[in-house]
Amino acid sequence: MIALVSAQMLGKAYRIPSRKLGEGAKLLHAVSDVSLSIQRGSIFGIVGESGSGKSTLGRLLIRLEKPTSGQLYFAGEDVTAIPRQRLSSQMQMIFQNPYGSFNPKQKIQNALMEVAKVHKIPKAKAMDLAATLIEEARLPESCTQRLPSELSGGQLQRLAIVRALMLNPEFLVADEPVSSLDVSVQAQILNLLLELKHSHSLSVLFISHEMPVVKAVCDEAAVMYLGSIVEMASTSELFSHPSHPYTKALLSAVPSLDPKIKKERIILKGDMPSPLGIPQGCPFAPRCPQAFSLCKTHKPVLTEAAPNHMASCHLVSTDKEVSKT
Amino acid sequence: MGDLLDIRNLAVDFMAHEGIMYALCGVDLTIGKGEIHGLVGESSCGKSTAAKAILGLHNKKRTRIKGEILFEGSDILAMPPREVAKLRGSAISIIFQDPMASLNPLMGIGSQIAEMYRLHENASKRLAREKAAAMLEKVGLTPSELRYKQYPFELSGGMQQRAMIAMAISCSPKLLIADEPTTALDATIQAQILELVKSVSDEMGMSVLLITHNFGIIAELCKRVSVMYAGRVVETGDTQELLASPKHPYTIDLIASIPRLENSSEKLTSIAGSPKALYEPPVGCQYYSRCSRRLDICEKQYPETRDVGAGHKAACHWSHSA
């Protein structure tokens, strides 16, 4: 089966002009050499801290940014060959702050109809479509007559999803869709995404910085650090057998609700380095509690830690070699 | 009693553009000496309003404050402004969510901390400088000689928050109010900051009022917790006991809606609707419209706060009748 979205060695480097005279521009590697594939009807999670390049990756996959290296295929077709209009009807995006993604002076009804107008869908058909989607999102019909400021954050985020689905896309990028919402409302959005995955056989790239949220909705997940994927596996495998030290630290940093579960907390020292000065060797080495001499000189590559479980860590690859011999 | 802070029936009304907004409608809260007390609730439930009231930071002209805030037995609300100003920073201090907005961008962080000693302890310039450097060392901003001279923009978010903590605890306050101290930070940095708050509290015997919307943080750090909803504390108790057997429907629903690492059920429970700002004097229980366990009486009469276990209180008709 062909994956819906497939990226091979995808990279994005931004040119940062120098502020000093006589010094050349620097390259900021926001995303480097990312390969992944997203199956139809599945939710793929990307976790990482701020500055790890997860949003840039999302924008690359939806062609909001042009990659500087690598290839990207959508349903087996090279995306550069797909015209913009068709591309935008097949992939859509929702953002963190729903109040920022709607025009504050425009009624919801008009915001939804604008999509239809651009893509030349007859108005009557679009109205019907909007009504069904609004019902599916469990929103009151009357909300179409309101302005964004009259709706709550949770309602508006559901409307953002409704608008994204107006063209019946196959692929949706959700960039931190619940980060600005309260916990009690957050669950409404997550459940809606899970339902849509089944009813519309929608594929979703779900970007988040919260491990429990990723665990709750995603089928597969990748952990990013400084622009690279450090670990990738099915969600159940990733959360039950994390093998990269960074994933382990991220998991241990999640405060547990059950006081009986006393975890060994791994406290990482310092901050993530700037992507302008990615350290030589493993990018995580300066903060890694298990780093050894090899890590400082050689960058590890993604290797199979277990079937369908990739990790880029010298500990994993050396373990493999030891067990082979 | 050994209580450091005792808030009784605190009500705060704002004279807003749209009319009177009832932000707090009778909050009761006690914090013991050396206790880390969690205050949890959704946005706009009044958590930060309560924190500001403790410090007397509300604009007197546009706010109406009733009730009592007893700090070591004396009522902060009845004190002259000068006295309250003396308490601020020395006996009670606060750290906010966004450290960049709280630090002076034009001043080195070392000098900002030294200013605290000059102001509150009348320390000489040299002594203030030494003490500030020691404080930087204490919160892990090393090497302190380098950090002393750095400006806030030269530090990362986590380090800025460390600088804020250094400033807040510089005069050994008895109470530290931490208003969402880690919401703006990444998970791994959040763990560092929480560890710091805990160790500082243990070492100095300082009480902490930790305001957050994250129940996980409460579970790891706090001895006791209060849950707020629509301007009221609806449930208080020992963290372990409250998490194990929550009594107020709001607490029950809130805990159920949190995605966790441990359980693996497909569907999350969500609470229908969302909290609303109060522009009318509240009648009955504010959670009524979202509550799945509501009774007829809930709409008309606000339930009184009663003991539902050892040191565990809740305000709910349903749990009282059960």
* Nearest Cα residue in chain A from B223: A259
Dist. CA B287–CA B214, nearest whole Å: 20
Summary mean pLDDT of chain B: 90
Choose from A43, A49, A183, A269 for mutation: most chain B CBs within 10 A.
A183
Whether the pLDDT of residue A126 is over 90: the answer is yes
Question: Which residue, chain included where needed, has tokens 């069904």?
Answer: A132
Whether the pLDDT of residue B28 is over 50: the answer is yes
Dist. CA A14–CA B310, nearest whole Å: 60
B143: preceding bond cis by omega (within 30 degrees): yes
Bigger pLDDT: A17 or B224? B224
Summary mean pLDDT of chain A: 89
Whether the pLDDT of residue B264 is over 80: the answer is no
Dist. CA A54–CA A47, nearest whole Å: 7
Check CB contact under 8 Å for B261 and A256.
Answer: yes
Dist. CA A44–CA A208, nearest whole Å: 11
B246, B262 Cβ separation under 8 angstroms = no
Bigger pLDDT: B183 or B206? B206
Min mean pLDDT across A207-211, A249-253, A266-270, B161-165 is at A266-270
Ordered by where they begin, the domains of chain A are: 5-324 (3.40.50.300)
Dist. CA A87–CA B78, nearest whole Å: 65
Cβ contacts of A182 on chain B, cutoff 8 Å: 42-43, 213, 274
3-class DSSP assignment, residue A126? helix
Looking at residue A72, its pLDDT comes to 94
**pLDDT tier for residue A325 given thresholds of 50, 70 and 90:** very low
Dist. CA A219–CA A199, nearest whole Å: 16
Looking at residue B191, its pLDDT comes to 86
Whether the pLDDT of residue B232 is over 70: the answer is yes
Question: Which residue, chain included where needed, has tokens 């309250």?
Answer: B84
pLDDT mean over B175-190: 88
* Nearest Cα residue in chain B from A52: B186
- φ and ψ at B17, to 5 degrees? -60, -40
The count of C-alpha atoms lying within 13 angstroms of the C-alpha of B272, restricted to the half-sphere facing its C-beta, is 10
The helix (run of H) or strand (run of E) holding residue A253 is helix A245-253
Looking at residue A264, its pLDDT comes to 72
Tell me, what DSSP letter sits at residue A287?
Answer: G
Whether the pLDDT of residue A249 is over 50: the answer is yes
Q: In what order do the strands lie in the sheet with A69-74?
A: A26-38, A5-16, A69-74, A77-78
Structure tokens given for A284: 């995580």
B274, A152 Cβ separation under 8 angstroms = yes
pLDDT digits (tens, 9 = 90+) for A44-59: 999 998 888 999 999 9
Tell me, what DSSP letter sits at residue B10?
Answer: E
Question: Which residue, chain included where needed, has tokens 């057997």?
Answer: B245
The helix (run of H) or strand (run of E) holding residue B31 is strand B19-32
- Identify which of A192, A216, A218 has the alpha carbon closest to the alpha carbon of residue A204: A218
pLDDT digits (tens, 9 = 90+) for B248-263: 999 999 888 888 887 6
Q: Count residue pairs from A and B with Cβ separation < 8 A.
A: 120
Ordered by where they begin, the domains of chain B are: 3-100+173-262+275-307 (3.40.50.300)
Give the gap in angstroms from C-alpha A207 to the nearest C-alpha of chain B. 14
**pLDDT tier for residue A261 given thresholds of 50, 70 and 90:** low
Whether the pLDDT of residue B61 is over 90: the answer is no
Considering chain B, what percentage of its residues have pLDDT values greater than 90?
A: 59
pLDDT mean over B284-290: 89
Residue B221, amino acid:
L
Looking at residue B265, its pLDDT comes to 59
Check CB contact under 8 Å for B219 and A154.
Answer: no
A50, A227 Cβ separation under 8 angstroms = no
**Of the partner residues A183, A216, A259, the one whose CB lies closest to the CB of residue B213:** A183
Whether the pLDDT of residue B72 is over 80: the answer is yes
B110, B128 Cβ separation under 8 angstroms = no
pLDDT digits (tens, 9 = 90+) for A306-320: 888 999 999 887 765
Q: Is A28 on the interface with B (CB under 8 A)?
A: no
Check CB contact under 8 Å for A190 and B268.
Answer: yes
**Of the partner residues B156, B158, B270, the one whose CB lies closest to the CB of residue A184:** B270
pLDDT mean over A95-124: 93
Cβ contacts of B228 on chain A, cutoff 8 Å: none
Q: Is A150 on the interface with B (CB under 8 A)?
A: no
Dist. CA B304–CA B310, nearest whole Å: 17
Looking at residue B310, its pLDDT comes to 86
ipTM of the complex: 0.77
Alpha helices in chain B (DSSP H): 47-54, 81-87, 99-102, 109-120, 125-138, 144-149, 157-169, 187-204, 215-221, 239-244, 249-256, 297-300, 317-321
Whether the pLDDT of residue A11 is over 50: the answer is yes
Check CB contact under 8 Å for A256 and B219.
Answer: yes
Cβ contacts of B213 on chain A, cutoff 8 Å: 182-183
Dist. CA B123–CA A92, nearest whole Å: 60
Min mean pLDDT across A23-27, A256-260, B98-102, B201-205 is at A256-260
Question: Which residue, chain included where needed, has tokens 């300082």?
Answer: B206
Residue A100 CB contacts under 8 Å (≥ 6 apart), including other chains: none
Looking at residue B37, its pLDDT comes to 96
* Nearest Cα residue in chain B from A269: B192
B315, B232 Cβ separation under 8 angstroms = yes
Strands A26-38 and B312-314: what pairing? unpaired
**Of the partner residues A255, A258, A272, the one whose CB lies closest to the CB of residue B217:** A255
| Displacement of CA A133 from its chain's centroid (Å) | 24
Whether the pLDDT of residue B1 is over 60: the answer is no
pLDDT digits (tens, 9 = 90+) for B127-181: 999 999 999 999 989 888 999 999 999 998 889 999 999 999 999 999 999 999 9
Check CB contact under 8 Å for A212 and B259.
Answer: yes
**pLDDT tier for residue A179 given thresholds of 50, 70 and 90:** confident
Q: Is A194 on the interface with B (CB under 8 A)?
A: yes
Check CB contact under 8 Å for A49 and B240.
Answer: no
Cβ contacts of B159 on chain A, cutoff 8 Å: 271
Looking at residue A260, its pLDDT comes to 67
